[in-house]
Amino acid sequence: MRRVSAVLTVLLVLVSSTHAEPGLHWREAGPGDKTWSADILREVQDFAREQKPTSIMVVRDDEIIASAGDLGAKVNIRSERKSLISALYGIAVEEGRINLDSTLAERAIDDRPDALSPAEKTATVRQLLMARSGVYHLAAYETPQMKQLRPARGSHPPGSFWYYNNWDFNALGTIYRQSVGNVFESFQTRIARPLGMEDFSARDGHYQQEASSSHPAYVFHMSARDLARFGVLFLNGGRWNGAQLVPAHWVTESTTRLSDTEQTERGYGYLWWTYTKESSGLTAFFANGYGGQLVVVVPAKRLVLVELVDLAVNRQGVRTQRVLDLVSKISASLP
């Protein structure tokens, strides 16, 4: 009996260590708590002095092991918004509200001022999630680079070509509103509140409409400490305090490399980026927004790094690769 009890105790320890989440507020590890923590703190603070992000924090399971800046400051997270709506899609698909194989024609999705062609309307919701729709209509909230790289209309059939396409991402927002409801209210109800986010409310989001397209962008302002909770949710396979908030299979599939990109080390899933660096053995997935908005998850090390940059303050931002290199260095130092 004593042996059975000991085995159960070990199992409970393993389960709790696999799904550790922060409580009401984040707990900070002291610089001397672990043999490696002081070095990581120094690396992060040196990085912050050099790159000047608004906030940066490194989390292992349920505690902050290094941070700099204002972790409660809300910043426009740019294209990180896409990974947030990916989580909402996972829930909606599981509940039968959205069929990934339904086409734009079946969902009565079109655009203006230029209408979609019959061929473009054969694109599926799944292809939009993969940035493979083949719809190269003008889109709201594009960066200059996205406009420059956009292929010509009709140049690639749906499903045949990966292009990081704001039209796809914005149309997904329209489909979600038609099928479920307001993106920001859903995020607040289905994710922010269950995770105990300290700063986010539906008022921190807005739809940005532009004349180029009938599909607005859905813009989020969030804090680093709230985004870190979102990262831990995906680190834990969509579970939080024993509840499966996002289906586990969706977490796995959406953070799997489903498409190659123009950079060998980076792939793309369902609105999540993947990263594999063979030289360091690092395997991660991340949400990425223009100018240095990042949530990087390293499952093998139980690690989440969040960076936010207010581009009104730091106009040059921080390059994504610099942050990924920092993550590689931190990961290599962890047991």
Residues 32 and 96 in one domain: no
Residues 326 and 230 in one domain: yes
pLDDT of residue 96: 98
Residues 256 and 325 in one domain: yes
Q: Which residues lie closer than 8 Å to 92 by C-beta, 6 or more apart?
A: 98, 176, 179, 180
Residues 169 and 264 in one domain: no
Two tokens, residue 59: 């989390």
Q: Is residue 299 part of a domain?
A: yes
Q: Is residue 205 part of a domain?
A: no
User: Is the distance from CB of 324 to CB of 275 less than 8 angstroms?
Assistant: yes
Residues 305 and 279 in one domain: yes
Residues 230 and 329 in one domain: yes
Least Cα distance to 247 among 257, 258, 233 occurs for 233
Could you report the per-residue pLDDT of 278-305, keeping only the tens digit for each? 988 899 999 999 999 999 999 999 999 9
Q: What percent of the chain has pLDDT over 70?
A: 93
Check pLDDT > 70 for residue 92: yes
Residues 32 and 131 in one domain: no
Q: Is residue 312 part of a domain?
A: yes
Check pLDDT > 60 for residue 245: yes
Least Cα distance to 190 among 159, 157, 233, 222 occurs for 233
Helix (H) or strand (E) holding 10: helix 2-18
Last residue of a domain, which of 183, 205, 231?
A: 183
Containing structural domain, residue 114 = 80-183
Give the chain's mean pLDDT.
93
pLDDT of residue 86: 99
Residues 71 and 84 in one domain: no
Domains contained in the chain, number: 2
CATH number of domain containing 307 = 3.40.710.10
Q: Is residue 191 part of a domain?
A: no
Predicted TM-score (pTM) of the model is 0.93
Could you report the per-residue pLDDT of 35-71, keeping only the tens digit for each? 678 899 999 999 999 999 999 999 999 999 999 999 9
Query: What count of other Cβ atoms lies within 10 Å of the Cβ of residue 96?
Result: 7
Residues 177 and 269 in one domain: no
Check pLDDT > 90 for residue 4: no
Q: Is residue 164 part of a domain?
A: yes
> Which stretch of 6-10, 234-238, 262-266 has the lowest confidence by average pLDDT?
6-10
Residues 103 and 43 in one domain: no
Query: What count of other Cβ atoms lies within 10 Å of the Cβ of residue 314?
Result: 15
Q: Is residue 3 part of a domain?
A: no
pLDDT of residue 16: 38
Last residue of a domain, which of 160, 183, 206?
A: 183
CA–CA gap between residue 272 and residue 84 (Å, rounded): 9
User: Could you say which DSSP state residue 160 is in?
Assistant: S
pLDDT of residue 290: 97
CA–CA gap between residue 144 and residue 103 (Å, rounded): 29
CA–CA gap between residue 66 and residue 31 (Å, rounded): 8
Q: Is residue 193 part of a domain?
A: no
Give the pLDDT band of residue 11 (cuts 50, 70, 90): very low
Last residue of a domain, which of 151, 183, 215?
A: 183
Residues 64 and 117 in one domain: no
Q: Is residue 325 part of a domain?
A: yes
Q: Which residues lie closer than 8 Å to 144 by C-beta, 6 or more apart?
A: none
Check pLDDT > 60 for residue 147: yes
Check pLDDT > 70 for residue 3: no
CA–CA gap between residue 179 and residue 301 (Å, rounded): 37
Residues 110 and 28 in one domain: no
Could you report the per-residue pLDDT of 112-134, keeping only the tens digit for each? 999 999 999 999 999 999 999 99
